A and B are shown apart, each in its own frame.
Chain A
């Protein structure tokens, strides 16, 4: 017979995720507005407004061989993911140590720091994956995408979300006081990444001296993958592998560092 302790050893991470999902139910309304409403508004505003201008000037299929809205739509989905993932890892993680110290409560049980890190990050997926799925439905509805391939946007979103969650978490877990540096992440990391990761325009449009921002940005890699699956953008096979491997590498790095910082903070 499996003992409860053996179950926690195996499934402890899931119990943490379960806890997070339960707590998120209180914010379901605002999460949907941020996670779904905001990209849809951007899509309508940019696609129907800016898109008309772009298509007029550049021709209807001039950007990556498709219309502006087709080019933009997958990128907006993924940009929404990094905003939600980063927010949750910033305020959720800092709060979990300081404001509502749930991590200290978890520490006093048979959970390990690894399970807390894994469970928290998996729980965060409940914030951006359902919103991404709804947004994808909107894309299908507007005939921006069709066929089954665009469904792969969801695993791409999961990969990107985990990479961002874990990297942000690794840093936030080292922060003992909030002196305004927490909002730095959103303003000076996430926002610039969305602007310079080929989200609203192809990376090649930028000055070559700025291309490195795209290369180090997990968003750019995921957006490239997203465009491949939503309208079959042209891409070298080896580059596709890089676009998959890069977020995976960030996931591993972010997890290892997060576990190290959580362990240091929770056990002395």
Chain B
């Protein structure tokens, strides 16, 4: 059994009467890729900041790399690589200089910093941009530079807060590829996301968070198995008619869910469910059979969709 890198028990963060994080437990092992999945405001970023020891917990226990997070902030951060939600690169410096000054913050000798900066420019596919101004980079490049910067101290754990939010699909795939390589090297990855495809791609295990609480935990596949069916049939009848049609569909598959724009029928065989729907005399405007995803898990657990 690999050692635990992060252990939380009853972890709580309160702002006045409001509990942003409300007594959560988790145990992240060395080399694991662990995700916090949830909508905006679920308490994911607050949890990340407590792990990074830049926000102090109100209650509970939180140990990061064997140290109490409230007591040992600087030492813990010397072993972490932190990628914040919003880039905070120094735009007055060039690309490579950003890596250089950041490496120096960790007390690394100049020779080591220079060597790592070059290797990480390569890793982040930014060698050609090394002398460019930061504000001239695209969103995806800035993100890769932020990740490269967080790797300067060769961290044991990488904390990635919404790593691909705001990026176009191509830039997201490039980034996922880079993160996947880190995972292969054995770096522990802890990430928050509200994209289920991201969680499915990158996480070995994840917790679904809502209103500061953990509502489910497991691997993406096991969560889908436990909380959803193998397939989902999506049918649309027009905004005014979905509700009515859902009543007729009731009883087909395991469960029927009505969203404002479509009706979801959870069934192990989507095609069979579709013929059952037409057998009942309904003619959907469009229909689609797909595999269940974490979005369905989230909908089942919270009654809401991930991205409002």
Partners in one complex: yes
Chain A residues within 8 Å of B, Cβ to Cβ: 3-9, 11-12, 15-16, 18-19, 22-23, 26, 100-102, 104-112, 266-268
Given A22-B97, A112-B74: A12 touches B107 (CB 8 Å cut-off): yes
Shortest Cβ distance from B286 into chain A, in angstroms? 45
Q: Provide 9 A-B residue pairs closer than 8 Å at the C-beta atoms, listed in order of the A residue.
A: A5-B74, A8-B74, A8-B107, A16-B105, A23-B93, A106-B105, A108-B77, A111-B105, A268-B54
Of all chain B residues, which has the CB nearest A27? Answer: B92
Other-chain residue from A6, A19, A107 in contact with B104 (beta carbon distance below 8 A): A19
User: How many contacts A-B (CB < 8 Å)?
Assistant: 91
Shortest Cβ distance from A13 into chain B, in angstroms? 11
Contact B91 A100 (CB under 8 A): yes
Shortest Cβ distance from A30 into chain B, in angstroms? 13
Contact A19 B106 (CB under 8 A): no
In the bound complex, CA of A266 to CA of B54 (Å) = 7
Q: Which residues of A contact B9 (CB under 8 A)?
A: none
| Interface mask (B47-58 → A, CB under 8 Å = 1, otherwise 0) | 001001011100
Q: Which residues of A contact B74 (CB under 8 A)?
A: 5, 8-9, 110-112
| Interface mask (B28-71 → A, CB under 8 Å = 1, otherwise 0) | 00000000000000000000010010111000000000000000
Shortest Cβ distance from A263 into chain B, in angstroms? 11
Of all chain B residues, which has the CB nearest A18? Answer: B104
| Interface mask (B85-119 → A, CB under 8 Å = 1, otherwise 0) | 01011111100010001101111100000000000
**Among B105, B150, B153, which residue has the most Cβ atoms of chain A within 10 A?**
B105
Contact B55 A4 (CB under 8 A): no
Q: Which residues of B contact A4 (CB under 8 A)?
A: 78, 106-108, 153
Other-chain residue from A11, A15, A268 in contact with B55 (beta carbon distance below 8 A): A268
In the bound complex, CA of A100 to CA of B84 (Å) = 14
Q: Which residues of A contact B52 (CB under 8 A)?
A: 108
